[in-house]
Structure 1
């Protein structure tokens, strides 16, 4: 079962530049299904209830986003995990792209 997170009505802002997602040996991870390289991008998600910082993993091309830029996250999936008595939620998306903000006509 996939747990897809609806980002409609949420403001998502990049808070760190995308970085390589590394394995325990310091090598860049690749997607198990496609072999594409993995990236980690930290974002701040804000809605009417408040905000939260999460790290979103993507596979393929390095996301072309900058710190402070509004971004769109495509197909955001929450992935609960548990290992060695620890647990949490990781997030994966098919893409993270800059949001095109319309120019104000003054």
Structure 2
């Protein structure tokens, strides 16, 4: 995370599913909490990248456009049936201290 200058919520938190057919949610083995996925936009100078980050427990106050603090982000490579990728997991995703949520309406701003 040190090379990134900021992180924003790009996709609001949603429970991760263990089984799409039954709707069963994925649970963290250590804590027993429901796993959530958050789309995080990482900013670095003129570059931006969106990654999906799994986190145990519902991230409170995390809404679209809010600047985020991502704690202990880990990247784990995976491969399954010829498909491969990188899974991202954090111990916590929360709004930056003192950050205000994005405005809900299109009103206001410069005229």
Q: Same fold (TM over 0.5)?
A: yes
d(CA) in 1 for partners of 2:99, 2:65: 17
Q: 1:79 aligns with which of 72, 76, 92?
A: 76
Matches of residues 6-85 of structure 1 in structure 2 within 5 Å?
6-7=1-2, 9-24=4-19, 25-48=22-45, 50-60=47-57, 62-64=58-60, 65-85=62-82
- When Rg is computed on C-alpha atoms for both structures, the one with the higher figure is 2
Kindly state the Cα deviation for residue 49 of structure 1 after the two structures are TM-superposed: 5.7
Q: Say which structure is richer in strand.
A: 2
Q: Secondary structure of the equivalent of 2:18?
A: coil
Unpaired stretches in structure 1, ≥5 consecutive residues: 1-5
For structure 1, which segment, 68-77 or 44-53, has the greater mean C-alpha deviation from structure 2 after superposition? 44-53
| Pairs aligned (count) | 97
Kindly state the Cα deviation for residue 81 of structure 1 after the two structures are TM-superposed: 0.3
TM-score, normalised relative to structure 2:
0.78
Kindly state the Cα deviation for residue 51 of structure 1 after the two structures are TM-superposed: 1.1
Q: Secondary structure of the equivalent of 1:66?
A: coil
Which ranges of 4 or more aligned residues in structure 1 deviate by more than 4 Å?
A: none
Kindly state the Cα deviation for residue 18 of structure 1 after the two structures are TM-superposed: 0.4
Kindly state the Cα deviation for residue 33 of structure 1 after the two structures are TM-superposed: 2.5
TM-score, normalised relative to structure 1:
0.82
